[in-house]
Amino acid sequence: MSAVGEAAAAAAAAAAAAAAAVRVSIRPFRAADDAAVRTLFWATVAGGSAAPLDPSHEVMRAYEHLCLDWYLTTGARWASVVVDDDDHAVGYALVCCDERSARRAVVAGSARFVAAACGAVVHGRLDPAMRTFVRLRLRDAAALARSGRHDVPSAHAHLNLTGAARNTSAVLAVRARIDEVVLDAGHDGWSGEINTRHGRRASALERSGFEVVGREPNHTLGWLAGEPVDRLTVVRRLR
């Protein structure tokens, strides 16, 4: 293809991406959004993977409860949903402004997840894909525990946007919403985790107002994506 042809193709791809992007708004989480948030969560976990993960399996349900339940119950007052013009959820921001409460829930949820996994292994109820998933999740959790605690604010957030809504303006709008929630709760900053291709530079994040304070391999998402993935710990300081 000629240089002119390549430029035209690139322009067409950019135009198509712009057309595919959806206009979004952000509103507080409602109880009726629970199912949509859980669906988006699993779409992200298994996104782009050929591994057949069954969200209805007892082990996957325990994992979902570990990751989401506190944020959608005790922490629901800080949660937001990203919606399109038809009020369909295309993303979410789950925020924790009470670290002590969230940690208690994580300890209890982790115990339930491990118990469910052990029971499924003993009774032969894990297929090869789910065995790999559980093994890698436990490996990642152990690695994070060994890496020690980064110097991060006690408030933290989990941000998830679907492909069509994953554009700069939407990310900045959600970031602003998280800033507002965190400040209103009396915190001076927040932390989060962002997964990216292995070795990718973090300069874009730094230009967006984040400080990268940690980088570890995410073995689980790397396996699901079919390529190495890094987990970046980022901090946004507001005062």
CATH architecture of 24-237: 3-Layer(aba) Sandwich (3.40)
Identify whether the C-beta of residue 209 lies closer than 8 Å to the C-beta of residue 122.
no
Please tell me the pTM assigned to this model. 0.85
CA dihedral 89, 172, 165, 45 (to 10 degrees): -70
Angle between helices 128-147 and 99-122 (to 10 degrees): 140
Per-residue pLDDT in tens (0 to 9) along the chain, 239 residues: 444 344 444 443 443 344 345 688 999 999 999 999 999 999 888 765 656 788 999 999 999 999 999 999 999 999 999 999 899 999 999 999 999 999 999 999 999 999 999 999 999 999 998 999 999 999 999 888 777 666 788 999 999 988 778 877 888 899 999 999 999 999 999 999 988 888 887 888 888 889 999 899 999 999 988 899 999 999 999 98
pLDDT reported for residue 167: 79
Whole-number pLDDT of residue 162: 85
